[in-house]
Amino acid sequence: MTKRLVIKEAFFTWLDSLRKDYRLFGPAGREIQTAFREISSSEELTMGYASTMLSPGKLFIYKPKEELFTFRAEKEIFIDAPPVPGEKQAIVGVHPCDTNAILYLDRTFLGGYRDPYYEARRKNSFIISLNCSAASQNCFCSSVGSGPFLKAGEGCDILLTDFDDMYLVETISRRAEELFNVRGKAAGRKELNIKSEKELSVLGTIEKKVDVRGLDRLFRANMDHPVWQRTAEERCLSCSNCVMVCPTCFCYNVVDESSIDLMSGRRLRHLDACQDMRFAEVYGGNFRQQRAARLRQFVTHKMNQTGQYGVIGTVGCGRCITWCPTGIDLTEMTKEIQGT
């Protein structure tokens, strides 16, 4: 692991040189909303972005839509597994919350059974994270320990911190050390102190805070708290925006498609949402028929249900608040139950 200060220009020249072997993805565009997309030059990057609607992990590693296999009918049915995704990709400018979200998705897709499509993309992704220089209105990462600065050694290959016309570049993985050959000034105690000061100053701008201690027990004791029913009735549209923009929501549905002559087709999966009325429907019943129950599933899955992976389900990116048409805020709901 090395830490050095590198002139931004030199860093971006190196990044562009990666395109020989890697497809490059990063935050781009600034007119309306910065979004993660493929770029052909580092000039397209908007590194100082605040937040994006969709997280890089759920765009480029866990794909919103994925073909699981194709099939064709001859005398018998034959199933053809798609080739394992082999392309190398570099994702640059990933904020700490989104980096932690990828670690969360790892728990789902690599924790027990391994999803081969996710696994291949994860291995082929070179992740260059970027500590935040400013927080947005809905960020609450500091309350859940996932930002605004990344704890060293977590989830990425390289970690950047903005030092005005330079980046503090920390190589985390072995492949980063091999790949990152730009020279710079070795960062010493002074630079690391400046880094800590920067972290503190960003921390100071985070307004949204929520105490997540003891939520498991609190929520279990408040399954019938009026906040669920009231928010569901007055504001929740069951539109699923919260789930779709959530970087840790992992749910998917599986769909089979056949050609019109039924001789071939494919099975695919795409993102699904527990806010959908039929998500938990079975023959003869629906375990979350009520809108309030579905809203509670989202909020409790993010804020507790920590038994699932032993970690809290949210990374505090605040997207579900930003993109909720009626501004439902899971931290506010939590606070209402806490009585604070």
Partner 1 sequence: MNPLIPVGARITDIKTEIEEVKTYTVSVDGVFYARPGQFNMLGYPGVGEAPISFSSIGQNGSFRHTVKAVGRVTKFLEGLKKGDRLFLRGPYGKGWPLKKAEGRDVVLVAGGLGLAPMRPVIETILKERPLFGNVTLIYGARNERQILFMEELRRWGREISVRLTVDEVLYPRSWKHNSGLVTDLLDKVRVAAESAIAFVCGPEIMMRFVCRGLIMRGLVQSHLFVSMERRMKCGIGHCGHCQHYGLFVCRDGPVFPYDEVRGLPDGLL
CB of 89 to partner 1, least distance (A): 21
Q: What are phi and psi of 117, to 5 degrees?
A: -75, -45
Which one of the spans 98-106, 188-196, 294-302, 315-323 is the region binding ligand SF4 (CB under 6 A)? 294-302
Alpha-carbon span 152 to 78, nearest angstrom = 47
- Helix (H/G/I), strand (E/B), else coil: 142: helix
Residues within the interface to partner 1 (CB under 8 A) = 68-69, 71, 76-77, 79, 81, 108-109, 111-116, 223, 249-258, 262, 265, 267, 269, 272, 274, 279-285, 287-288, 293, 296-297, 300-301, 305-308
Q: According to the binding rule CB under 6 A, does residue 278 interact with ligand FAD?
A: yes
Q: What is residue 40's three-state secondary structure?
A: coil
Q: Does 250 sit near ligand SF4 (CB under 6 A)?
A: yes
Indicate the residue type of 27: P
Cβ neighbours for 71, distance < 8 A, ≥ 6 positions apart? 77, 78, 79, 80, 264, 265, 266, 267
Residue number with CB closer to ligand SF4 (117 or 298)? 298
Q: 296: exposed, middle or buried (C-beta count within 10 Å: 0-12, 13-18, 19+)?
A: buried
What is the separation of C-alpha 102 from the centre of its chain, rounded to a whole number of angstroms? 6
- Strand blocks (E) in 166-303: 166-171, 185-186, 252-258, 264-271, 281-282, 285-286
Please report the beta strands in 181-294, taking only residues with DSSP state E, as ranges in sequence order. Answer: 185-186, 252-258, 264-271, 281-282, 285-286
298 binds, among ligand SF4, partner 1, ligand FAD, none (CB under 5 to 8 A by kind): ligand SF4
Instruction: Please identify, using beta-carbon distances, which residue of 62 and 126 lies nearer to ligand SF4.
Output: 62
**For residue 221, which amino acid is it?**
A
Among 20, 86, 164, 283, binds ligand FAD (CB under 6 A): 283
The nearer residue to ligand SF4, 61 or 243, going by C-beta atoms, is: 243
Q: Which residue, among 54, 84, 91, 90, has the nearest Cα to 67 in the 3D structure?
A: 84
Residues 6 or more apart whose Cβ sits within 8 Å of residue 137: 207, 208, 318, 322
Q: How far is the CB of 129 from partner 1 (least distance, A)?
A: 25
CB of 252 to ligand FAD, least distance (A): 13
Closest distance between ligand FAD and the C-beta of residue 281, in Å?
4
**Which three-class secondary structure state does DSSP give residue 31?**
coil
CB closer to ligand SF4, 50 vs 251: 251
Interface with ligand SF4, residue 273, by CB under 6 A: yes
User: C-beta of 306: minimal distance to partner 1 in Å?
Assistant: 7
Residue 217 within binding range of ligand FAD, rule CB under 6 A: no
**Nearest distance from C-beta of residue 109 to ligand FAD, angstroms:** 21
Distance CA 29, CA 300 (A): 34
CB nearer ligand SF4, residue 140 or residue 180: 140
When asked if residue 301 is in the footprint of ligand SF4 (CB under 6 A), the reply is: yes
**In terms of CB distance, is 141 or 273 closer to ligand FAD?**
273
The DSSP output letter for 57 is I
Provide the minimum distance between the beta carbon of 282 and partner 1 in the complex, in angstroms, as a whole number: 5
Q: By CB under 6 A, which span of 116-124, 196-204, 274-282, 328-336 interacts with ligand FAD?
A: 274-282
Residue ranges in contact with ligand FAD by CB under 6 A: 278, 281-283
Which residues bind to ligand SF4, rule: CB under 6 A?
A: 243, 246, 249-251, 273-274, 297-298, 301
